[in-house]
Structure 1
Amino acid sequence: MVDWGDQCNTFSFQGARMTPLAPPQVTDHGGGVWSIKVPIPDNPLGHTLVHLLDTGRGPVLIDTGWDDPQSWDTLVAGLAALGIAAADVHGVVITHHHPDHHGLSGRVREVSGAWIAMHAADTEVVVRTRSREPGVWFDYMSEKLATAGAPEEHIAPLRAARASGRMRTLPGLRAAVPDREIVPGELLPLAGRALRAIWTPGHTPGHVCLHLEEAHPGNLPGNGRLFSGDHLLPGISPHIGLYEDPEDERVTDPLGDYLDSLERVGRLRPAEVLPAHQHPFTDAPARVRELLTHHEERLAGLWELLAEPLTPWGLAERMEWNRPWGQIPYGSRHIAVSEAEAHLRWLVKQGRAEAVPDTDPVTYRAV
């Protein structure tokens, strides 16, 4: 099982090398649904599958891809291969706010006037990120890492970036603010289509899957098709970390949210899943069971590691990733520590771990 937390390095996209634009990879999934492979620069995931849904009022995109010239050119070329101009796009439905999904939404809206829809919890993240001076994020990250037990040599580059102003190059700082809200459980108002929003928090607080409640065009058994974003992927366990307002004292439980959301999606029993990465697949309940088992095994392993009191950083160092800790890129270590904290919160909430009194930084032990 590969954990996405070891693959998504948000610090690796700057200075991406441009390569000649290849012919667009467009797949017809039948029933007025297509996908376009939009590249993510310098990232092992390779691409985002941007889905296009034909509606009675024009084409609607589900996600848009990373904000990069080559990604934009690929998206435009993919649309053109279907006889569609970017200016023809009627609307954009975003599964979650991450830049490989929401990055090009603003540009699509600029050329087409399309509306952009997102769950309110992720819109809040977008607005918060845009409205605050970028240095706030660096201060918050520095403080969080210090509290998690990160060594000073790891925190120092963040302080240096904050002092130099380099934080303005980080992705997502000027993401488009959506103008429509995706309401969980409701059908989206798309002419001639039955697309229902399923709230699936965990990977982000406002992640949604989109259930196309229409017969499968290939007559596969099951209940329609599911655009699963990053929530349910065929060979990757998505990163489950912390998305918190530095000024908000609420304690979230993203892993608990994710596990609950997985079971909810499994009960839908869609005939086919159309994810945002990798490839379409069937038997969603079986994939849900695999992911639930994966997390049960991982939590059991972390509980055993906590026989020795550890900080979140110390736990992340000992967790199993798809490469040794020393080979994990700098930015990905932030994501790994965030995932360790999410798992720790779940163990504490379940009464299987506790904070050790009077430790600074705080260490945790198994109960």
Structure 2
Amino acid sequence: MTPQVTDPPVTEHGGGVWSIKVPIPDNPLGFTLVHLLDTDAGPVLVDTGWDDPASWDTLVAGLAACGVAVADVHGVVITHHHPDHHGLSGQVRDASGAWIAMHDADASVVRRTRSNPPDRWYAYLVDKLTAAGAPADHLAPLLRARDEGRPRKLPGLAPALPDRSITPGELLALPGRRLRAVWTPGHTPGHVCLHLEEDHPAGLRGNGRLFSGDHLLPGISPHIGLYEDPDSETVTDPLGDYLDSLERVARLGPAEILPAHQRAFTDAPARVHELLAHHEERLTGLLALLAEPLTPWQIAARMEWNRPWDEIPYGSRTIAVSEAEAHVRRLVKLGRAEAVPGSDPVAFVAV
């Protein structure tokens, strides 16, 4: 497989690795970096991008710039189930017969998404946000959608079911390459990074290269919210999972990180240190807020975001509340905060 051009949106990273900027419509992230990996069995994709006609056309054109037709794709390795990563997987498989591999925890999310009808998801969101103290005007659109049986307009309504499981710690079955799965839960329960255990083609010092998905990004912190499962009452700790996973990646010491957004970068330990410090600062600020009892909605409204709370769009407020809850759960697990007995909606206070 010989690349024909390396003009944007295609970048050659050397050693049989390329990235393609696949656009995400109407999203400030802009694009997903879909990585193409040459193997002795044929080209393999790491993630596929958003399920949108323009995104598909860009992916096809990017592959062609690398001398690859979609029909040539041998396999698809998914870092996590979110639609900007997994969205086009089914279309790639239909066009090529490629297998799709995903960690079992995220495969369970995919099966759950496909099996639950839209009104179940609306009802679940209403219950969650009510318990978090969301006001009536925020709940009203969800209640209308639930009661009217309106189809869910969110992307990823019927994501592709994977064909293979990614087993953490094991090498993937990719002839001619050494690509090892590293389980990095936090952003999703089954997020994986993929460690290419081969010398860096430019001779950079370090331990190979890491396809980091959304786990480790050069300039932003990924969303860490609650894992969504309407059928489970398990109290998870996504932020704790994420912080532990960050330290695991830092110990790998890769020479270069190839993330799914923004750009390739080096010095994983330094970036991990920045992210650990960022979340510790957020936890410290949250403790100060919890000098008085607050619901998760009130907490989210008082936390610092990239814009004032009044300017945050409707859907993003729901995501912000989930992130606030993940941070509160971490404080509760650490014994630094607790739920106020009898509060409804539940409020939390520092201890």
TM-score scaled by structure 2? 0.97
Q: 1:59 and 2:46 equivalent?
A: no
Which of 161, 172, 186 is the equivalent residue of 2:156? 172
RMSD over aligned CA atoms reads 0.8
SS in 2 for 1:169: coil
SS in 2 for 1:70: helix
Match of 1:298 in 2: 282
Q: Which moved more, 1:159-168 or 1:143-152?
A: 159-168
Write the deviation string for residues 316-364 of structure 1: whole angstroms up to 9, x where unpaired. Answer: 0000001000000100011000000000000000000011111110110
Shift of 1:171: 1.0
User: Is the Cα–Cα contact under 8 Å of residues 116 and 179 in structure 1 kept in the other structure?
Assistant: yes
Counterparts of 1:59-78 in structure 2 under 5 Å? 59-78=43-62
Which of 229, 248, 254 is the equivalent residue of 2:213? 229
Which of 18, 25, 30 is the equivalent residue of 1:34? 18
User: Is the Cα–Cα contact under 8 Å of residues 118 and 150 in structure 2 kept in the other structure?
Assistant: no
Could you tell me how far apart the structure 2 residues matched to 1:358 and 1:168 are? 34
Match of 1:262 in 2: 246
Q: 1:324 and 2:308 equivalent?
A: yes
Match of 1:355 in 2: 339
Match of 1:143 in 2: 127
Match of 1:214 in 2: 198
Letter in 2 for 1:196: R
Structure 1 segments unaligned to the other structure (5+ residues)? 1-22
Q: 1:339 and 2:329 equivalent?
A: no
Shift of 1:243: 1.4
Structure 2 segments unaligned to the other structure (5+ residues)? 1-6
SS in 1 for 2:105: helix
Letter in 1 for 2:344: D
Match of 1:100 in 2: 84
Could you tell me how far apart the structure 1 residues matched to 2:284 and 2:60 are? 46
Moved over 6 A (4+): none
Could you tell me how far apart the structure 1 residues matched to 2:290 and 2:126 are? 24
Shift of 1:159: 1.0
SS in 2 for 1:168: coil
Shift of 1:168: 3.1
User: Is the Cα–Cα contact under 8 Å of residues 211 and 224 in structure 1 kept in the other structure?
Assistant: yes
Letter in 2 for 1:123: A
Which of 158, 180, 195 is the equivalent residue of 1:196? 180
Match of 1:6 in 2: none
User: Is the Cα–Cα contact under 8 Å of residues 24 and 74 in structure 1 kept in the other structure?
Assistant: no
Which of 147, 152, 169 is the equivalent residue of 1:185? 169
User: Is the Cα–Cα contact under 8 Å of residues 36 and 45 in structure 2 kept in the other structure?
Assistant: yes
Shift of 1:249: 1.3
Shift of 1:170: 1.6
SS in 1 for 2:151: helix
% identical equivalent positions? 77
Could you tell me how far apart the structure 2 residues matched to 1:180 and 1:101 are? 17
Shift of 1:246: 1.2
Match of 1:10 in 2: none
Shift of 1:164: 3.2
Match of 1:15 in 2: none
Letter in 1 for 2:95: V
User: Is the Cα–Cα contact under 8 Å of residues 119 and 150 in structure 2 kept in the other structure?
Assistant: no
User: Is the Cα–Cα contact under 8 Å of residues 53 and 59 in structure 1 kept in the other structure?
Assistant: yes
Shift of 1:24: 5.3
Could you tell me how far apart the structure 2 residues matched to 1:144 and 1:234 are? 32
TM-score scaled by structure 1? 0.93
Shift of 1:132: 1.2
Match of 1:127 in 2: 111
Shift of 1:172: 1.2
Write the deviation string for residues 68-102 of structure 1: whole angstroms up to 9, x where unpaired. Answer: 00000000000111111101100000000000000
Shift of 1:162: 2.1
Could you tell me how far apart the structure 2 residues matched to 1:174 and 1:41 are? 19
User: Is the Cα–Cα contact under 8 Å of residues 24 and 77 in structure 1 kept in the other structure?
Assistant: no
Could you tell me how far apart the structure 2 residues matched to 1:51 and 1:162 are? 38
SS in 1 for 2:305: coil
Could you tell me how far apart the structure 1 residues matched to 2:217 and 2:109 are? 23
Could you tell me how far apart the structure 1 residues matched to 2:82 and 2:149 are? 22
Could you tell me how far apart the structure 2 residues matched to 1:92 and 1:68 are? 18
Could you tell me how far apart the structure 1 residues matched to 2:153 and 2:141 are? 15
Could you tell me how far apart the structure 2 residues matched to 1:32 and 1:305 are? 50
Could you tell me how far apart the structure 2 residues matched to 1:164 and 1:89 are? 42
Letter in 2 for 1:289: H
Q: Which has the higher contact order (CA 8 A, sep 6+)?
A: 1
Could you tell me how far apart the structure 2 residues matched to 1:294 and 1:248 are? 30
Could you tell me how far apart the structure 2 residues matched to 1:56 and 1:174 are? 32
Could you tell me how far apart the structure 2 residues matched to 1:244 and 1:266 are? 27
User: Is the Cα–Cα contact under 8 Å of residues 197 and 209 in structure 1 kept in the other structure?
Assistant: yes
